[in-house]
């Protein structure tokens, strides 16, 4: 209580868990306002569109990379457990695309496999480019990196997504192996299997989201502790939104009646939009949480405000009953 009274706005907080309740109310108010001023809805739609364009190339990269160490024909079967988490119409479309990609990749060997893998990775970088632009808007960072560096970054993010997909395949394979054992537990076994599937999906999503928050924006990297809260929140929102949207699409949203044969595509795009919105909202929370403290939240040695290479770390918002914050270039703020 004494700490909260002495620092009600959390200016000396060294991690999100040390922020007092009044600081969280200020963060929530700013996040609410910035979802409108940053056009999060429009940004999420753009990210979803790029993700849709990148999906098939990304599947190709996952299948061909997995095929270097195992039979690519097993990819669709192993991924079925994870795919079943998404809305049914979207799951059918994703599964069919996986089957098509697996069939096309099965005959590629040697140099042909390498060329196809590089082309698939390049095609999948569209989603990474979209998320980079969106996070730069949220973190209020102009893009100053060169075209070559940005291209390499999109490849790195895409390769990271492929590796996460491989880990997901391994996890799904393990789940497939233990599934027969859970049958002995009856209904309890089905519950255990479902929980394990959600845990695997949540862990993979949280890891990928946190890494994207750290490396995608054009700024000095934030410390992991200033990324963890938004990553966990985005993962939780994504899981809840996926279940909720899947329930809505199966019970109330008759997209096939409205869009005909395009119904599955519409459901997939809407699910990607909901997922992108959850991720960007988590980034907004991270950004405003980092802005709340005056302590250096970036990596490396502590630097004075204005010299940290990140807008969110170099500024603090004005608060009621608090003196106006110093100019970002004021060295007197020091290493408080």
Rounded to the nearest 5°, which phi and psi values hold at 298? Answer: -95, 170
What is the Cα–Cα distance from 138 to 281, expressed in whole angstroms?
9
Range of the domain at 155: 39-330
Taking each helix axis from N to C end, the angle separating 147-182 and 40-67, rounded to the nearest 10 degrees, works out to: 70
pTM: 0.80
Residue 6 within a domain: no
What is the Cα–Cα distance from 70 to 102, expressed in whole angstroms?
12
Residue 250 within a domain: yes
Residue 75 within a domain: yes
Residue 110 within a domain: yes
What is the Cα–Cα distance from 287 to 284, expressed in whole angstroms?
5
What is the Cα–Cα distance from 43 to 201, expressed in whole angstroms?
24
Residue 9 within a domain: no
How many domains does the chain divide into? 1
Positions in the chain short of pLDDT 70: 1-5, 66-91, 95, 98-114, 116, 169-190, 248-261, 319-336
Residue 27 within a domain: no
Cα distance between the two ends of the chain: 21
DSSP assignments along 137-205, one per residue = HHTT----S-HHHHHHHHHHHHHHHHHHHHHHHHHHHHHHHHHHHHGGGTHHHHHHHHHHHHHHHHHHH
Q: Could you give the C-alpha distances from 87 to 174, 192, 266, in angstroms and in order?
A: 23, 21, 11
CB 222 within 8 A of CB 286: yes
Q: Look over the chain and give the mean of its residue pLDDT values, rounded to a whole number.
A: 79
CB 231 within 8 A of CB 206: yes
Residue 15 within a domain: no
Residue 160 within a domain: yes
């Amino acid at each position: 209580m004494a700490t909260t009274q002495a620092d009600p706005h959390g200016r000396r907080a060294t991690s999100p868990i040390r922020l007092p309740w009044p600081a969280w109310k200020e963060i929530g108010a700013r996040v609410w306002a910035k979802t409108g001023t940053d056009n999060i809805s429009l940004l999420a739609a753009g990210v979803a569109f790029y993700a849709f364009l990148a999906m098939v190339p990304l599947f190709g990269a996952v299948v061909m990379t997995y095929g270097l160490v195992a039979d690519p024909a097993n990819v669709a079967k192993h991924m079925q457990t994870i795919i079943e988490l998404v809305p049914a119409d979207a799951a059918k479309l994703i599964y069919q695309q996986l089957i098509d990609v697996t069939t096309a990749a099965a005959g590629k060997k040697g140099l042909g496999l390498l060329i196809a893998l590089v082309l698939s990775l390049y095609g999948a970088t569209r989603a990474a480019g979209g998320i980079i632009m969106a996070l730069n808007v949220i973190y209020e960072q102009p893009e100053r990196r060169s075209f070559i560096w940005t291209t390499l970054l999109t490849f790195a993010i895409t390769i990271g997504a492929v590796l996460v997909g491989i880990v997901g395949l391994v996890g799904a394979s393990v789940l497939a192996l233990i599934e027969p054992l859970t049958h002995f537990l009856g209904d309890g076994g089905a519950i255990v299997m479902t929980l394990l599937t959600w845990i695997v999906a949540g862990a993979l999503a949280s890891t990928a989201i946190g890494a994207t928050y750290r490396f995608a924006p054009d700024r000095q990297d934030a410390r992991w502790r200033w990324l963890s809260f938004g990553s966990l929140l985005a993962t939780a929102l994504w899981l809840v939104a996926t279940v909720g949207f899947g329930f809505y699409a199966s019970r109330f949203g008759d997209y096939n009646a409205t869009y005909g044969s395009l119904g599955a595509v519409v459901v997939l795009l809407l699910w990607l939009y909901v997922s992108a919105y959850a991720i960007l909202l988590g980034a907004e929370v991270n950004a405003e949480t980092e802005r709340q403290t005056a302590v250096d939240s970036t990596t490396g040695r502590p630097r004075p405000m204005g010299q940290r290479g990140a807008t969110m770390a170099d500024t603090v918002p004005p608060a009621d009953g608090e003196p106006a914050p110093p100019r970002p270039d004021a060295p007197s703020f020091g290493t408080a």
